[in-house]
Amino acid sequence: MKQLALAFVLGAVSVGGFAPFYLFPLPIVTLALLLLLLERRLGAARGFKLGFAFGFGFFLAGVSWVYVSLHDFGAMPAPVAVAVTVLFCAYLALFPACAAGLAGAIACAPLRRLLAFPAAWILTEWLRGWLLSGFPWLALGYSQVPDSPLAGIAPVLGVYGVGLASAATAGWALHAWRSRSHPTRWPAAAAVLVLWAGAAGLKSIEWTTALGEPLSVSLLQGNIAQEMKWRPEQLVQTLARYEAMIRASSARLIILPETALPLFLHQVPREFFDDVARHARANGADVLLGLPERGEGQAYFNSVVSIGASVPQAYRKSHLVPFGEFIPLRPLLAPIVELAAIPLTDFSRGSIDQRPLAVAGQRVAVNICYEDAFGEEIIRQLPEATLLVNVSNVAWFGDSIAPMQHLQIAQMRAVESGRPMLRATNTGMTAAIDVRGRVLRSAATFTTESVQVAVRGYTGATPYVRFGNAPAVATAALLLLAAFGFGVRANARSAAARP
């Protein structure tokens, strides 16, 4: 029990490696200590238990803010919201449990451990990122952006490649420290040094090229309280606030948050559109507005539409949030969801092959809220796009660490793609991020603010844009197969040595 409690604490402490704390060495250290616990008593069952304890502590500390959306804003009764949050974290903990269980089952020798542990960890993270529509939040690689030398791997192998390097560092460094008489001690230490030096070298490479003159951008943060956002009596004030913020801007690209206008597109007063369009055209500008859009029949979409100097265009969100925008396994789960007063839980999916919007002289790849957590989906619009734009409404999570974690995810997307990321949110974190993942300018949370920034579009393609997650996943799979292969050969030698 003491080891399980220690694993739980190590998992919870690991959250300090992510935003808003950014202590990037911390998750590497805690993973090394988890591996140390595994080494003391190997085996699949033991590994699974330790991995589950680690994961449960990690996700309870890192994503328990889902309780805020369920209870504070979704009106779900507190006991039910607590139970759903705990079950959700327990489900997520199954992935590190499987990784540790697999490593414990096959890693009885040091060399196999060096291969199996990082490979199993990243393969289960990748699985978590797409199974049941995916929840890749707090993948290990995010902790290394933007300051760690390992961030240099992101444009090549993406977040899972960075995570693989981080997990390998944990295992190899532990082996070098503990195995004083083992012949692989110094090669393991050398591998860590080469890995980090190589990543630092990659970080200095300019993978993409700036294009044209700087573009003036306004990122509008309206700060409409979530509990007021959908109330009819708030509508006039919301429209007036955003119209005033738009008219106060002389930027060529003005971006509003997700569902900034709590009306369907066809319900927005004509005078609002006319005034905004007139102002935008006078400045040769374009405005990107987040709002729901009615489609054919009963379909409606979470959309971003453009108005202004360019031809009107639209982007429709394609990767929807389970339970927030659609109900998976509806016959089974709909009664539970009905306990929460979450509006708009029946969005339709936009097409996955939408192209960038041609606005303000740029090709803008729009993604809405949760979509930027999926790197391979972002690169569908690349290398054609010159800028990335994310519009979000994370007011659902209140004054928690969720908005900062979401900002770090956006920082990873900027580094992977070699494109600036422009984020407009309702209550925070509204920010402009450069191609190195650094925040150029941001708004304080829970303030009504317009972030003014000048950015340049970028052209070209990083290796990650060309190949996505496949190289990182294939590398992890090969490492795991190699660990199995060494085990088979070791067993064969043992059998041959028996009389």
Task: Render pLDDT for 216-275 as a digit per residue (tens, 0 to 9).
Answer: 999 999 999 888 888 888 899 999 999 999 999 999 999 999 999 999 999 999 999 999
User: Left, alpha or beta for 361 (phi > 0: left; psi -120 to 50: alpha)?
Assistant: left
Element (H, E) at 451: strand 449-459
317 given a catalytic annotation: yes
Report pLDDT for 492.
47
Q: Is the pLDDT of residue 75 over 80?
A: no
CATH among 3.90.1150.10, 2.40.110.10, 3.40.50.300, 3.60.110.10 for 210-461: 3.60.110.10
Q: What are phi and psi for residue 462, nearest 5 degrees?
A: -75, 165
Instruction: Count Cβ atoms below 10 Å from residue 118 Cβ, excluding itself.
Output: 29
pTM of the model: 0.93
Of 342, 339, 150, give the one whose Cα is nearest residue 229.
342
Distance CA 81, CA 364 (A): 38
Average pLDDT, the chain: 91
369 given a catalytic annotation: yes
Position 54 confidence tier, pLDDT thresholds 50, 70, 90: very high
User: Are the CB atoms for 83 and 340 separated by under 8 Å?
Assistant: no
Residue that is written with structure tokens 């269980």 in the block = 101
Q: Which of 37-46, 229-238, 252-261, 340-349 has the highest mean pLDDT?
A: 252-261
Position 495 confidence tier, pLDDT thresholds 50, 70, 90: very low
- Options 89, 98, 125, 258, the catalytic residue: 258
Distance CA 310, CA 319 (A): 26
Distance CA 373, CA 64 (A): 18
Report pLDDT for 486.
64
Q: Is the pLDDT of residue 472 over 90?
A: yes
- Options 49, 203, 229, 317, the catalytic residue: 317
- Options 369, 371, 416, 449, the catalytic residue: 369
Please report, for the chain, the start and end positions of each structural domain, with discontinuous segments joined by +. 2-206+467-497, 210-461
Residue 20, both tokens: 């808003």
**Which SS3 state, helix, strand or coil, does residue 422 take?**
strand
What DSSP assignment string belongs to 62-106?
Answer: HHTTHHIIIIIIT---HHHHHHHHHHHHHHHHHHHHHHHHHHHHH
User: Are the CB atoms for 460 and 205 separated by under 8 Å?
Assistant: no
258 given a catalytic annotation: yes
pLDDT one-digit tens code per residue, 415-453: 999 999 999 999 989 999 999 999 999 999 999 999 999
Report pLDDT for 353.
94
Q: 492 CB contacts (<8 Å, ≥6 apart)?
A: none
**Which SS3 state, helix, strand or coil, does residue 204 take?**
coil
Residue 241, both tokens: 């606030």
Distance CA 245, CA 448 (A): 9
pLDDT one-digit tens code per residue, 375-395: 999 999 999 999 999 999 988
Helices (H), 107-205: 110-128, 154-178, 185-203
Position 346 confidence tier, pLDDT thresholds 50, 70, 90: confident
User: 61-75, 90-104, 276-290: lowest mean pLDDT where?
Assistant: 61-75
Q: Is the pLDDT of residue 182 over 90?
A: no
